[in-house]
């Protein structure tokens, strides 16, 4: 009969284990229901990411970048037929803050003034890694592989759109699709080429300023800029001189009207600048220190307290600038008028027409080659600085099955305290029982 007490602790322990396991299952599957989900992380590698900026230097929000078109593309690629809204309701993007960063922030916060108006938190850290999570609640019948595949396609579409959005682009065919340049008069062809060369040069200079060390075949974007300059100097100026000297045109009346219109526009600008100059000159003449004056004309009137020499210097600078603009306009008007005079008297030969067309052809060929070279530079620039702006790891799946590691961890957290309490209770019970028996033996 005495031996039966040996099994009591075992029965109690087994009973406690069953109760603890049951409680853990109920908590895991019902009370604090843990969903199954797939997750994948994306790392941003571009300059400025750690400052919360996008590749263009603007504020970046990784969550708002996950647009409906990205989700729709991923759904279609996966061969599924879910509504975009349903997928959006079951996907979550969260930042991943490294533990060492959290420790540093907490350490820093512990030695700062707790009453400071701005508390140091993890929100002050701009993450470069984000976790994409897609819940199984989207469709409980969807297999694990298909859920993983959908999430992977979402992340792929996200990364592809990121690259397309921020990559540098230059397509030489754009201009040829907009218009056929040789259908225009000579002067307009020259102007079109000149404008395109200026745009290319400005773009090349901006990319050079971003990465002065970037090279393709030992050449930088600044070399592209200089090549554009050389083409303009070699052909555009020569073509313009020939056109104006010989009054070359496929339609002389239209050419005359163009220069007459240009003179009218220049005179309009001259009148405006002259009015401004008169006003500013009067302000310079009437300038008195520590007085209040009003600078500007028309709708742009600014009140200035002239309490320093800076005010007077600014007025002088404005006066000089207006004078220079008027002088430049006068020069342009004189040039246009000279061209108009030459149109009526100039005699162009067939050789002149052949020559200007040959120059325009060479200009088009040289500029086309430069455009293609620039496009090659831009593509390699993207491959160097933007192709790997995002990188991802593999997709992982977290199951809410009672056979999953997640449940095992959950069970340990829930059941361990219960089991320890019961075991401690049993130990205390038998300790008291043993002490009591020892006393009874001594008493006997």
Query: In the chain, where are the structural domains located?
Result: 1-31+405-428, 35-167+390-399, 178-385
Both tokens of 242, joined, read 């020939």
- Average pLDDT across the chain, whole number: 80
For residue 121, what pLDDT is reported? 45
Q: Give the total residue count for the chain.
A: 444
For residue 119, what pLDDT is reported? 41
For residue 68, what pLDDT is reported? 94
**pTM metric for this prediction:** 0.61
Give SS3 for 97. Answer: coil
For the chain, the C-alpha Rg in angstroms (whole number) is 39
For residue 58, what pLDDT is reported? 87
What is the distance between the alpha carbons of residues 108 and 420, in angstroms, rounded to a whole number? Answer: 38
For residue 230, what pLDDT is reported? 93
CATH class of the domain comprising 35-167+390-399: alpha beta
For residue 241, what pLDDT is reported? 85
What is the distance between the alpha carbons of residues 116 and 350, in angstroms, rounded to a whole number? Answer: 83
What is the distance between the alpha carbons of residues 16 and 24, in angstroms, rounded to a whole number? Answer: 12
For residue 117, what pLDDT is reported? 38
For residue 5, what pLDDT is reported? 55
List strand residue ranges (DSSP E) for 34-170, in order.
37-44, 91-95, 129-135
With tokens 């056979």, the residue in question is 403
Residues of the chain predicted below pLDDT 70? 1-13, 15-34, 98-125, 174-179, 288-308, 400-416, 418-419, 423, 430, 440-444
What is the distance between the alpha carbons of residues 119 and 178, in angstroms, rounded to a whole number? Answer: 55
What is the distance between the alpha carbons of residues 196 and 371, in angstroms, rounded to a whole number? Answer: 10
């Amino acid at each position: 009969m005495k031996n039966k007490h040996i099994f009591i602790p075992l029965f109690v322990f087994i009973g406690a284990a069953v109760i603890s396991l049951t409680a853990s299952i109920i908590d895991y599957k019902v009370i604090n229901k843990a969903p199954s989900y797939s997750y994948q992380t994306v790392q941003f590698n571009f300059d400025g990411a750690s400052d919360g900026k996008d590749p263009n230097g603007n504020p970046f929000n990784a969550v708002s970048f996950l647009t409906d078109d990205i989700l729709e593309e991923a759904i279609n690629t996966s061969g599924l037929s879910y509504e975009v809204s349903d997928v959006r309701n079951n996907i979550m993007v969260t930042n991943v803050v490294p533990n060492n960063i959290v420790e540093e922030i907490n350490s820093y916060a512990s030695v700062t003034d707790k009453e400071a108006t701005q508390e140091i938190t993890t929100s002050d850290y701009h993450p470069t890694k984000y976790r994409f999570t897609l819940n199984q609640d989207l469709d409980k019948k969807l297999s694990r592989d298909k859920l993983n595949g959908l999430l992977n396609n979402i992340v792929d579409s996200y990364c592809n759109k990121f690259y397309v959005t921020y990559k540098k682009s230059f397509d030489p065919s754009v201009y040829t699709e907009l218009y056929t340049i040789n259908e225009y008069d000579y002067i307009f062809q020259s102007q079109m080429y000149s404008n395109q060369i200026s745009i290319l040069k400005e773009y090349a200079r901006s990319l050079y300023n971003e990465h002065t060390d970037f090279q393709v075949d030992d050449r930088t974007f600044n070399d592209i800029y200089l090549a554009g300059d050389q083409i303009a100097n070699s052909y555009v100026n020569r073509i313009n001189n020939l056109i104006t000297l010989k009054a070359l045109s496929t339609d002389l009346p239209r050419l005359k009207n163009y220069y007459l219109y240009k003179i009218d526009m220049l005179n309009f600008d001259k009148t405006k600048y002259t009015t401004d100059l008169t006003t500013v000159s009067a302000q310079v003449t009437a300038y008195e220190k520590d007085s209040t004056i009003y600078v500007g004309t028309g709708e742009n009137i600014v009140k200035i307290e002239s309490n320093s020499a800076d005010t007077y210097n600014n007025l002088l600078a404005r006066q000089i600038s207006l004078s220079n603009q008027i002088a430049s306009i006068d020069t342009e008007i004189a040039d246009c008028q000279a061209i108009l005079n030459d149109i009526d008297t100039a005699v162009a030969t067939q050789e002149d027409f052949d020559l200007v067309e040959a120059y325009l052809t060479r200009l088009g060929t040289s500029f086309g080659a430069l455009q293609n070279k620039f496009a090659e530079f831009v593509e390699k620039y993207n491959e160097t600085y933007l192709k790997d702006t995002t990188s991802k790891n593999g997709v992982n799946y977290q199951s809410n099955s009672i056979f999953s590691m997640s449940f095992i961890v959950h069970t340990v957290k829930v059941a361990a305290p219960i089991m320890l309490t019961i075991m401690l209770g049993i130990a205390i019970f038998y300790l008291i029982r043993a002490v009591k028996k020892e006393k009874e033996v001594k008493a006997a």
